[in-house]
A and B are shown apart, each in its own frame.
Chain A
């Protein structure tokens, strides 16, 4: 199936109120799904025989600070049977208190386990229903989220005390 057919199938199944945006670029389309429906859409993408997205390439986060909604979670899919790829994503608002939350897809694609653990620690998100919500790459005692745009690239003395001190890294200004 080509990208347009997959998009149309999603829209006809879930309707405009769940599929809130589709952006084509070159030969790929990105479909944005409301947060509440993401599990349902993922299940449909995996189980529908015409789509059959059995392979999850990655789950990743995006921080669009200072734009709103601030966060995105991206799911890049591949169908081994039909040899097509597709990408869905969902937008997350930054709550007043606590962290943005989205449903985990680990039970749909077990490979999402590590991807979600990494995304959670890097962006400060909660994947609800995740079977093993520990940190993956960062030290347990670091209470910071380095891939957020408001986190300085050289780290902070309070949050990342183990990082080597010394002259600040020169970063090319754009």
Chain B
């Protein structure tokens, strides 16, 4: 019988590789990383992507412009309206369409609701990842209200598919304004409740403060955007720097933190929910009347009720469905601030009804590149906290 080998120091310090995912609750989908560990300390992280790759860009190149909107929402299902917004804005720029004021304000409402929606779910799952169960239930309570609002006005709960090129699918449903007003009135107090659970919670602060440091120079070099870069001390928000859809008319501030860590990202997202609520209140106050879709026969669908009464509207509608929208030969890059950062849509048109190329600048994909840098030297348990602080949506990462 062989004697057991004594544990020497060099045997203990031998590094080993651990497979994290693809099926692991903390990866929020199907993300796999090979983690090199020495004891419990992370030496390196090598992400392996593609488990959810659906060929999104290839599919877009084989669809008419109007058919891409529901696809785009499935790209980032947490901030669905942001995705259809960036696509619609880019196509509108290409065909030079002027979106009516009412549609712009409602679009801002939908985009901000989807930002709160996304941050709420992030807050719950992130807290869950570091061991706090309760915030998830609190967050889902308000998220349910937003889903009911989406359902009321658009039918879909997770992916409303409500925006159209040139405006909106339909006008707001009766009762939407009242329910949204009620939501904005009590939401601020609800955010206070989340903060009492986490902001000064000693366990939570211990788990997140000083963990996952991302210095500003590295954040810029690695292309991080959104809450990631704002938590590293740069007040950059596309809504302010290059406003779209009328954001220049709203009074809101960009929260900034200088901690560069997981805790700062938490503070940023909580503060952003408050700012979004402020924008929602202003949008409700200024909501003008008028049409909800621009008029450009042959490029934008005519109003639904006209199709039953006017021959020309019926013809235009029919031709758009069959032949599709034909923009000029061009290329254009449009971008917005999604819940995760700079969400961009780059379209090349060859004059046909389908884009020659549609490139999706997915913020979660780019932000995930910072993971290896942030987690080196931390404990394995911290890696989970850091990964969740990036706020990845795997459908958007893998596209």
Contacts and interface: CB of A to CB of B under 8 A. Distances in A.
Contact of B356 (A54, A64, A122, A146): A64
Given A57-B223, A74-B359, A174 B332 contact: no
Interface in A130-160: 135-139, 146-147, 151, 153
Of B63, B324, B331, which is in contact with the most chain A CB atoms at under 10 Å from its CB?
B331
Contact of B361 (A58, A80, A109): A58
A62 B348 contact: yes
A44 interface: no
A111 B335 contact: no
Interface stretch (A3-11, A12-20, A25-33, A95-103): A25-33
**Chain B contact residues: helix, strand, loop or mixed:** mixed
A76 B324 contact: no
Nearest to A138: B50
B132 interface: no
B291 interface: no
B366 interface: yes
Interface stretch (B51-59, B151-159, B160-168): B51-59
Interface in B338-396: 342, 344, 346, 348, 352-354, 356-357, 359, 361, 365-366, 369
B333 A28 contact: yes
Nearest to A121: B50
B55 A146 contact: yes
Contacts, number: 100
Given A57-B344, A111-B222, A146 B58 contact: yes
Given A147-B57, A171-B62, A74 B346 contact: yes
A129 interface: no
Interface stretch (B115-123, B201-209, B234-242): B234-242
Contacts of B62: 153, 171-172
B319 interface: no
A136 B362 CA distance: 15
A114 B366 contact: yes
A76 B90 CA distance: 15
Of A122, A137, A139, which is in contact with the most chain B CB atoms at under 10 Å from its CB?
A137
Contact of A114 (B55, B353, B369): B369
Contacts of A146: 55, 58
Interface in B226-240: 234, 236
Contact of A56 (B59, B67, B223, B357): B223
Q: 3 closest Cβ contacts across the A-B interface? A: A111-B223, A137-B50, A60-B359
Interface of A: 23, 25-26, 28, 30, 54-58, 60, 62-64, 74, 76, 78, 80, 83, 85, 87, 109-111, 113-114, 122, 135-139, 146-147, 151, 153, 171-172, 174
